[in-house]
Structure 1
Amino acid sequence: MPSDTSRRAYHHGDLRQAVLAAALDVIATEGPGALSLRDLARRAGVSHAAPAHHFKDRTGLLTAIAAQGYDLLADALADAPDLRERGVRYVRFAAAHPAHFQVMFQPDLHRADDPELLAAKERASTELRAGVTGLAATSADPRTAGIAAWSLAHGFATLLLTHNLDDPLAGRDPGEAFRSLAGLTFGRDGAGDTGGSDHS
């Protein structure tokens, strides 16, 4: 049976968001491969054809989820003071939005030419690149350093979401753990205040 929340969302005209929310629940528990528009329609309490009105098909739905995720990531990264703090926010974004994170980085799930997705990806990329500008005065190549920083944050986030860090972290806050790790990797000269004390 669909939840009262889903029914209210539909009757208030927000079917699109109701279907997105149901899809994110499925992805978080079962992965993107378990998505079915028919099942999502049942969860939202609408006809099986209703989700297709907004998303056309499963790929359209996953594309919308990816676009939403990149927008949320861009918002999370905005105004971070340096590269390390962008990494911390990246990790915390992944922990807060695991379903989005699963979909965003699997391009075979999306329509690569979707305008909303392209715009959202560019927003997120701009915020990621902004963290590398502080490296320009160092001997490090900013582009290579940016790839290294992204690899570190993305790898950490992926290990976190797949529970491979449960024992190593032993209950420690993932953002704080990443902040220390980034300081060890990049040092004080890597990205603003990236070494020394482990502050918030």
Structure 2
Amino acid sequence: MSRAQSQPEKTRAPGRPYHHGDLRRAILAAALDVIAADGPSALSLRDLARRAGVSHAAPAHHFKDRTGLLTAIAAEGFGLLAATVGEVTDLKDAGVRYVRFAREYPAHFQVMFTPELLRADDLELTTARALASEALRGAVSAVPPDRRGGDARLAGIAAWSLAHGFATLLLSHNLDDPVGDQDPENVFRDLASMLFRSP
């Protein structure tokens, strides 16, 4: 096998992209598939390189190590969450979108809230997490105090606990029987109405 064949991530003709395409995205996609199927503990950079069809050292060029890869996944997830929740100001709608995000991006969701897997001081992660938190706080602040109580911080914890707990139970199939054939988003909206009643 030639050097060019053994190191495809470094091979390109002048003025042309890497023949693999977007290697970073390919590795992230492969990692998300593994996490969705078997959880974060099953991740191996060597296995991801094999799945992406590149040399075993290629993932390290983009993520340094396994922690770096998981941190990148979490940062991407918080960015997606911020974009999803930031489009609404109604607290119930924000909660529904939070649950929807968890259902659409279960691998991201699983990694985002497991801090021991992540590099806590990573700038991309802390920035994306702050954006997501700000979007959630904005939805809570839009609720009049007479409907959420005087302490917006506690109201935010209550709203987050409800949405996150529901999403976690849903993804782990603990709500299969209670929810049944109902749309989980409609079920969550009903639960949120019990907690934050409209005037």
Structure 2: 5+ residue stretches without partners = 1-16
Deviation string 1:117-152 (CA, Å, 9 cap, x unpaired) is: 011001101100001112353234111011000000
Q: Which amino acid aligns with 2:157?
A: I
Q: Structure 2 matches for 1:40-189, cutoff 5 A? A: 40-138=48-146, 139-189=149-199
Question: How far apart are the structure 2 equivalents of 1:37 and 1:12?
Answer: 17
Question: How far apart are the structure 1 equivalents of 2:171 and 2:197?
Answer: 26
* Secondary structure in 1 matching 2:173: coil
Residue 11 of structure 1 and its aligned partner are, at CA, apart by 2.3
Q: Which amino acid aligns with 1:175?
A: E
Contact persistence 2:73–2:111 (CA under 8 A): yes
Contact persistence 1:136–1:142 (CA under 8 A): no
Question: How far apart are the structure 2 equivalents of 1:96 and 1:167?
Answer: 21
Deviation string 1:10-29 (CA, Å, 9 cap, x unpaired) is: 72530000000000000001
Stretch moving more, 131-140 or 68-77: 131-140
Residue 92 of structure 1 and its aligned partner are, at CA, apart by 0.3
Contact persistence 1:10–1:44 (CA under 8 A): no
Distance 1:72 1:10, change over 3 A: farther
* Secondary structure in 2 matching 1:11: coil
Question: How far apart are the structure 2 equivalents of 1:123 and 1:185?
Answer: 25
User: Normalising by the residue count of structure 2, what TM-score does the alignment of the two structures yield?
Assistant: 0.88
Structure 1: 5+ residue stretches without partners = 1-8, 190-200
Structure number with greater Rg is 2
Residue 185 of structure 1 and its aligned partner are, at CA, apart by 1.6
Contact persistence 2:63–2:69 (CA under 8 A): yes
Structure 1 residue aligned with 2:31: 23
Stretch moving more, 97-106 or 137-146: 137-146
Deviation string 1:70-121 (CA, Å, 9 cap, x unpaired) is: 0000111022131111100000000000000000000111100001001100
User: Normalising by the residue count of structure 1, what TM-score does the alignment of the two structures yield?
Assistant: 0.87
